[in-house]
Amino acid sequence: MPGLVLQARPWKDGVSHEMPEIGFRVGFTVSKKVGKAVARNRARRRLRVVADRVLAAHAKPGFDFVVIGRAATIERPFADLLRDMEAALRRVKAHRGANHHKGREKDRGDEHRDEAGRPEKA
């Protein structure tokens, strides 16, 4: 994503033995390529707020996440950062929402269905 990179790894057995009461863990990193300490800290603070809002609401439990800041993290509008995080969460298949593949039926070629949900015969 333009504003961040998200990495995810499922827990071995789906449970954190270190902290069993939590659903997921998250860490943040921003390299010196982003800028000096002030810029890196600002990027990390922005990512922390984005993660609090998006991961808390949409992340599947049983994952470790690493959020990596990019140069665009500092200047990117906050709403775009939120969308970046949601898209990245879907991409790493750690989003707990319903079906996120819009148009999936159309891709399978069975967009014509009868009342019972069976494909109509041509």
Residue ranges per domain, the chain?
A: 4-93
Is the CB of residue 74 less than 8 Å from the CB of residue 43? yes
| pLDDT the model gives residue 33 | 93
- List 66's β-bridge partners, or say none: 7, 27
5-16 mean pLDDT: 78
| pLDDT the model gives residue 46 | 95
pTM score: 0.70
More confident residue, 77 or 99: 77
More confident residue, 94 or 68: 68
| Digit-coded pLDDT (tens) for 78-120 | 999 999 999 999 888 877 764 444 444 444 444 455 555 555 5
Residue 28 in this model has a pLDDT that exceeds 60: yes
9-17 mean pLDDT: 70
More confident residue, 95 or 17: 95
Share of the chain above pLDDT 90, in %: 48
C-alpha triplet 26, 54, 95: angle, nearest 5°:
85
Token digits of residue 54: 């998006």
pLDDT band at 49 (very low <50, low <70, confident <90, very high): very high
Asked if the 4-93 domain carries CATH number 3.30.230.10, the reply is: yes
What distance in Å separates the CA atoms of residue 53 and residue 73, rounded to the nearest whole number?
16
What distance in Å separates the CA atoms of residue 59 and residue 89, rounded to the nearest whole number?
7
